Structure 1
Amino acid sequence: MIDEKQLEIDDLQVHYKIVNAGATTATVIFIHGFPFDCSIWDKQMEALPDDICGISYDIRGFGKTVGGHSYFSIDLFAADLNALIKQLQLTRVVLCGVSMGGYIALRAAERTSDALAGLILCDTNAEADSNQGKLKRFASIEQIMGGGKALFAENFVKGLFSRQTNEHKPLLIKQIVDIIAATSDDTICAAQLALASRTETISALPAITVPALIVRGEEDQMMSIEQAEQLDSALNSGGIIEIADAGHLPNAENPEAFNEAMNTFLKRIN
């Protein structure tokens, strides 16, 4: 059963969901991407093995996590994550991040590895934004500030999903559109600036020695196979798991295949 809780960390009221295990051997912390919330991980939380605790949380400014200032950075998000781990006194933590959640997981792993037992990196990369990518983010900020949030959401979702999802999963598409609509303009713009200003983590990858799983939706238009291969090679993960009928959110688009890969990995590290 998934329970919902609030935790105060410094200036934040962090909303998170938790699935407790009987004799816990590890805890998976699920980190959502931009501009989503922790609900995208519900099907993974429900599918965890009996001995694995699951936590999904809303990143600063997203979902039901409130408080704090309006300046965001990937380093700040990573500091929030490590504070969550410390306050909950977690050990043997597996970080599972999709897209921006993967950036946060890598930065958190770079900052501290004391409790880290594994990494699941999904449709993400270790590179900084290119100049073209930065300009695209700045343009989206201008669009939102000019009252074009609905158009931003429409265009964003168009490139998010696989053909199968676009044709046959309208409820999933609506869920994502509704999440974006419920997220404040300030949060979306601040997060875009955080993404544009992030530094690369390629140079930090050799120091990460815990087991890693690299997952990618076969039809992802936002992250390339070359970026996944870079992570696979640097982290020695033993190969990329590609999820069929999935784009940038394979955990939501094809949860059965994603969960199989996730649980096989969790058994291996246990």
Structure 2
Amino acid sequence: MSTILFIHGHPFDRSMWRPQVDHFTARGWRVLAPDLRGYGAAPTASGKAASGTATAPVEDDMVTLAEFAADLVALLDAEGIRRAVVCGLSMGGQIAMELVHSYPDRVAGLVLADTSPAQETEAGRADRRRIADEITAAGMAGYARDLLPGMLAASTIERRPDLAAYVLEMMAAAPASGAAAALRGRAERRDYGATLLTLGLPTLVVVGREDAFTPVAVAESTAKMLRNGRLVVLDGAGHLPNLEAADEFNAAMEHWLGATMVR
């Protein structure tokens, strides 16, 4: 049975992939959508990981993308899965790129949603470290409120207050220690451009047309790096097209899978 591994973004949890889990499970795919270390039900201090998590606990103030990727490979090993189609959004997309960089034999195909392969800038590193310190001191509530307008298209917030409330609640509920550790680790990420330039795997690049964090131009540049890539831009969506335009996201991914993957 073919497997899809969905990797959530920051500061979310596995539930952000529910529309995709339901859709692809119903179509016969084996689907994994774990909570990353320090998020959702995954532990933030020493202790046993909850069911459905990818991970070891967060025991220091930084978790790197390489550590997240190693957690996911350990999950694949535990599930007896040799290779999977890997789909990541935002930070999850960068973890997916780390996976294909460090463990290329474990990835059958790649979906990069609303993400960038670029290394963090000096200003960006400083900003992520500052935010990590702030949420460690003050918690997630204010940070989540500030993030919401960038996460969703303005039309989504206006027309779908239920979805906006769900996204806000999910972000506010993220453990501050886990979110801060991930921010510090993400600040130190490598540049994945060289990896993408030499990548022969089928790769789908998806972006919301109104994404404020990773604009369409970034997705276009990413797609141009790929020898076997395809770009899909979803109208009426911001940084979370898998939720804002779930049917269109699922259809684009299903069409791509049907055209490129042998079941």
**So what's the TM-score if we normalise by structure 2?**
0.88
Shift of 1:197: 1.2
Q: CA RMSD in A?
A: 1.6
CA offset digits 1:145-183 (Å, max 9, x no partner): 342632211111121111221101222222222222222
| Residue identity in the other structure for 1:45 | V
1:52 and 2:29 are equivalent in the alignment: yes
The match for 1:94 is 85
Is there any run of 5+ residues in structure 1 with no aligned partner, and where? 1-23
State the alpha-carbon separation in 1 of the partners of residues 204 and 135 from structure 2: 35
Shift of 1:237: 4.0
1:136 and 2:130 are equivalent in the alignment: no
Question: Where in structure 2 are the equivalents of 1:104-253 lying within 5 Å?
Answer: 104-147=95-138, 149-253=140-244
Shift of 1:86: 1.7
Say how many residue pairs are matched.
Answer: 246
Shift of 1:246: 0.4
| Residue identity in the other structure for 1:60 | R
Please point out which of 11, 18, 21 is paired with 1:42. 18
CA offset digits 1:166-207 (Å, max 9, x no partner): 101222222222222222221121111011111111122233
Is there any run of 5+ residues in structure 2 with no aligned partner, and where? 47-56
Please point out which of 65, 85, 88 is paired with 2:42. 65
CA contact (8 A) 2:209 2:215 kept: no
CA offset digits 1:79-114 (Å, max 9, x no partner): 111111122111341000000000000101111122
CA contact (8 A) 1:214 1:232 kept: yes
The match for 1:21 is none
Question: Where in structure 2 are the equivalents of 1:15-26 lying within 5 Å?
Answer: 24=1, 26=2
CA contact (8 A) 1:126 1:202 kept: yes
CA contact (8 A) 1:214 1:237 kept: no
CA contact (8 A) 2:139 2:176 kept: no
Shift of 1:51: 3.1
Q: Percent identity?
A: 32
State the alpha-carbon separation in 2 of the partners of residues 265 and 55 from structure 1: 19
CA offset digits 1:107-139 (Å, max 9, x no partner): 011111223210010000111111222232233
State the alpha-carbon separation in 2 of the partners of residues 92 and 52 from structure 1: 13
State the alpha-carbon separation in 2 of the partners of residues 135 and 113 from structure 1: 31
CA contact (8 A) 1:161 1:248 kept: yes
Question: Where in structure 2 are the equivalents of 1:4-15 lying within 5 Å?
Answer: none
**So what's the TM-score if we normalise by structure 1?**
0.86
Shift of 1:238: 4.4
